[in-house]
Structure 1
Amino acid sequence: MDWDKIRIFFTVAEAGSFTRAGEDLGLSQSAVSRQISALERDLRAPLFHRHARGLLLTEQGDLLFRAARDMKMRLETTRARLTETAERPSGDLKVTTTVGLGSLWLTQRLPEFFDLYPEIRVELILSNEELDLAMREADVAIRLRQPTQPDLIQRRLFTVHFHIYASTGYIKQFGEPKTLADLDNHRLLAFGGDQPSYLLAVHWLSTAGRDVRNPRPYHCVINNISGLKTAVESGAGIAVLPDYVADQDNGLEQILRDVEMPSLDSYLVYAEEMRQVARVQVFRDFLVSKAQRWAY
C-alpha cells in the first residue's frame, strides 16, 4: 500500500471530511477525494460511507484506520528515539493533568525545567477528563487517582490535601465558623459542573456534619478551581480548596482546622513504550524531585 495515500486516508478519517482534511494537508478537496478513490480501487474495498453530514468509516475503513493509527504511533516513537540522546533530551513532550493542578502547581515549576532542558518543548493539556495515553493522546499524565490500566507505568508523587478556606476580609465581615454547624449561617462556594465524581467528592461543604438528604445550599458553584480560588480570595464565601492553591500569601485563611478532610494521591503516568524516551525520563525525575520538596 502507498504510505502517502494511507497518510491522506488517516487525516480524512480523523477530520471527517475531505475539505477539512485538505486544509490540514495543504491540498484541494478534489485532490484529497481522488487519492481516497484511488486507494479504494487499490484495496478493492469502500473505506467511507459518504453522506451530506460528512464521512463515516466502513468496516473495512475502520480496520485500515486502526492499522494506520498504530503505524503513526510507532513512527512517532521511533522518530523521538532517533532525534534525541540521553545527554541532550530534546523534542516535543505532551503533558496532561487536571486544570487545577496544571494551572496552579505545574506551570509554576516549568521555568526551572526549561532552564535545565532548553531543547524540550512542552505542550500542556489541562483537562479533568483522563486522556488515553495508550493511544498517544498525551505522552505523560499527572493524575489525582491511581491508574487501573495494567500497561501504564506509574509513580506516586505526593498527596493533595484539601481544607476549608475563607479570606481575611470575609472573616472580618462575617466572623469565623467554629463548628460545622456554623456553616449553616455562611455563604458557601463549591467546585462543580460536569466533573469526574472523585474530584467532586472532596468538595463536601453542603453535607459536612449534617444529613446528606438535607444539604446546605451553595451561593455559587464554579467549574474551575482557579475561579473558585479567586472567588474565595475576593471574599465571596467559604470553600474547600486543595493546598496547592493556598500555599502562598494570598489572603486565604484555613478555618475549621480540627475537621478531618479528604485527600487525593497524585501519580505520574506514562505508557510502557515511552519508558526509554529521554525527555520522558528527565521530566519524570524532575517532577519526583519537586514532589519530594513539596511538604504536603
Structure 2
Amino acid sequence: MEFDWNHARAFLVTAEQGSLSAAARVLGLTQPTLGRQVNALERELGVTLFQRVGRGLTLTQSGAYLLEHVKSMGMAAGHVSLAAMGQSQSITGTVCISVSEIYATLVMPQIVMEIRDREPGITIEVVATNEISDLQKREADIAVRAVRPTQSELITKKIKEMSATFYATPGYLQKIGPAKTIQDLTHAHFISVGSCEAYKKAMAGSGLMLTDENISVVCESHLVHWEMTKMGLGIGLVPTHIGDAEPSVQRVIAGLDLIQFPIWLTTHRELRTSKRIQLVFDLLAEALAA
C-alpha cells in the first residue's frame, strides 16, 4: 500500500479543525489542494474518512478509528523535527515567536529590529495570537506568555512582573469627573475584551461591580479595544508600560496598578540546544526585561 505522510497530515489537521477551509489556513494550502490530499488518502486506504454536515465535516467511524493512529504519527513527526532542529548549530534561518496581539503590534517591532541588527542572518516570524501556541506541535519555536506552562518538555524563564491599569482620554475623564478609587467608576463606560460576563466577573474580582450598562463596546481584539480607548469611547485596560507611553490617554486613577502579571519566555527543551533558538531566546529575554 502506498502511503503519503502529506496526505495523512491533511487528514489530521482537517479532523482537528473541523473544516477544509480552516485546515487549509493552518497548513498554508488552498482548499482545493487540501481536499485533493484528503481524497487521495481515502483512495490509498480504501475508506471514507469524512461525511459533510452543513458547512463542516464530521468523522466517519473509520475516520475516528484511524485518527488516533495518525495522531501518533503526527507526534512522532513532531519529535523528529524538534530533535533535528535542536541539533542545528547554524545561526542563519527562521525563528518563530508566538506573542499576544497587543505585544506583537506595540512591543515586538522594536525588539525584532534589535535582534535583526545584531544577527541579520536570522529571520523572525511573529505569530500574533491571544491563544496559547502549542510548542510541542511546532506552532512556534518560542512563546511569550503571561502564564507559566506546566509541560515538562518545555523550558521557561520568568522575565519580570508587569502591571496593568485603566486608561482613558482626558476628554472622556472630564465627562465622568475625577476618580480616586475604582468604586468611583461605577457610572463610567468600559470597553470589554471578550464577553461582558467575563469582563464583569474579572472586574468584580478587583472590587469593581459593573452592570451591562457600564459596557459601551464589546470586541474580541485587544488592539481594537485599545484604539477605541484612544478615541474616547470609554475606559480601557492595558499594561502600564504601553498605556503610560501613549500621549493621547492618561491613567484613570493615578498610582493605581490594578492587575499584576508575570511575563514568561518559553521554548521546547529540544529547541534550547539549537544555537539559533538559544540566541534569539536570550536576546528576547534581554529586550523584554529592559
- Asked if Structure 1 and Structure 2 have the same fold, meaning a TM-score greater than 0.5 normalized by the shorter chain, the answer is yes
Of 236, 248, 271 in structure 2, the residue corresponding to residue 274 of structure 1 is 271
2:233 counterpart (233, 236, 252): 236
What is the CA-CA distance between 1:288 and the residue it aligns to? 1.6
- State whether structure 2 residue 190 is matched by structure 1 residue 189: yes
The structure-2 alpha-carbon separation of the partners of 1:229 and 1:255, relative to structure 1 and needing over 3 Å to count, comes to same
The alpha carbon displacement at 1:143 in A equals: 0.8
Q: Would you say the 8 A contact 1:156–1:266 is kept in 2?
A: yes
Paired residue total: 276
Aligned residue in 1 for 2:106: 104
Give the helix-richer structure, 1 or 2: 2
Moved more, 213-222 or 249-258: 213-222
Q: Does the 8 Å contact 1:145/1:265 carry over to 2? A: yes
1:253-294 CA distances to partner (integer Å, 9 max, x unpaired)? 12323545221101011121111112221121112211332x
Contact residue 18 and residue 32 of structure 1 kept, 8 A: no
* Equivalent AA in structure 1 for residue 223 of structure 2: S
**Equivalent residue for 1:76, pick from 68, 71, 81:** 81
Query: Which moved further from structure 2: 125-134 or 7-16?
Result: 7-16
Tell me, yes or no, if the aligned pair for 1:95 and 1:123 is still in contact at 8 Å: yes
Per mean C-alpha deviation after superposition, the further-off stretch among 52-61 and 120-129 is 52-61
Give structure 2 stretches of 5+ with no counterpart.
Answer: none
**In structure 2, how many angstroms separate the alpha carbons of the residues matched to 1:260 and 1:55?**
47
Alignment RMSD, CA only? 3.7
Distance in 1 of aligned mates of 2:86 and 2:149: 26
When the two structures are superposed, what TM-score results if normalisation uses the length of structure 2? 0.77
Residue identity opposite 1:65 in structure 2: V
Residue of structure 1 equivalent to 2:92: 90
* Whole-Å separation in 2 of the counterparts to 1:252 and 1:48: 58
Query: Based on CA coordinates, which of the two structures has the bigger radius of gyration?
Result: 1
How far apart in 1 are the matches of 2:110 and 2:65? 47
Q: CA deviation at 1:89?
A: 1.3
1:65 aligns with 2:67: no
Between the aligned partners of 2:131 and 2:189, the Cα distance in structure 1 is 26
Q: Are the equivalent residues in 1 in contact too, given 2:20–2:31 (CA < 8 A)?
A: no
Match in the other structure for 2:221: 224
The separation in 1 between residues aligned to 2:265 and 2:284, in whole angstroms, is 8
Provide the rounded CA distance (Å) in 2 between the counterparts of 1:179 and 1:275. Answer: 46
Give the alignment's TM-score, normalised by structure 1.
0.75
Identity among equivalent pairs (%): 19
Matched to 1:272, the amino acid is R
Query: C-alpha offsets along residues 77-130 of structure 1, whole Å, 9 cap, x if unaligned?
Result: 355356x53xx5122222212222222222332111122222222322222221
Counterpart Cα distance in 2 of 1:219 and 1:55: 39
Tell me, what secondary structure is at the counterpart of 1:134? helix
Secondary structure (helix, strand or coil) at the match of 1:66 reads helix
* Residue correspondence of structure 1 range 100-179 to structure 2 within 5 A: 100-179=102-181
**What amino acid does structure 2 have at the position aligned with 1:7?**
N
- Bigger shift: 271-280 or 261-270? 271-280
Structure-2 change in CA distance of 1:263 and 1:8 (3 Å) = same
Q: Which amino acid aligns with 1:188?
A: H
Is 1:287 the counterpart of 2:284 in the alignment? yes
Aligned ranges 1:17-96 → 2 under 5 Å: 29=36, 33=39, 37-38=43-44, 40=45, 48-52=48-52, 56=59, 58=63, 61-80=66-85, 84-85=88-89, 88-96=90-98
**Distance verdict in 2 for CA 1:222–1:189, change over 3 Å:** farther
* SS at structure 2 position matched to 1:245: helix
Q: Give 1:194 shift.
A: 5.4
Alpha-carbon separation, structure 2, partners of 1:183 and 1:28: 53
Question: Is the 8 Å Cα contact of residues 145 and 264 (structure 2) preserved in structure 1?
Answer: yes
Further displaced range: 233-242 or 253-262: 253-262
Q: Where in structure 2 are the equivalents of 1:191-206 lying within 5 Å? A: 191-193=192-194, 204=203
Letter of the 1:269 partner, please give it. T
Inter-partner Cα distance in structure 2 for 1:270 and 1:141: 6
Q: Deviations over 1:180-213 (max 9, x none)?
A: 333234x322332159x7xx58962x67555x48
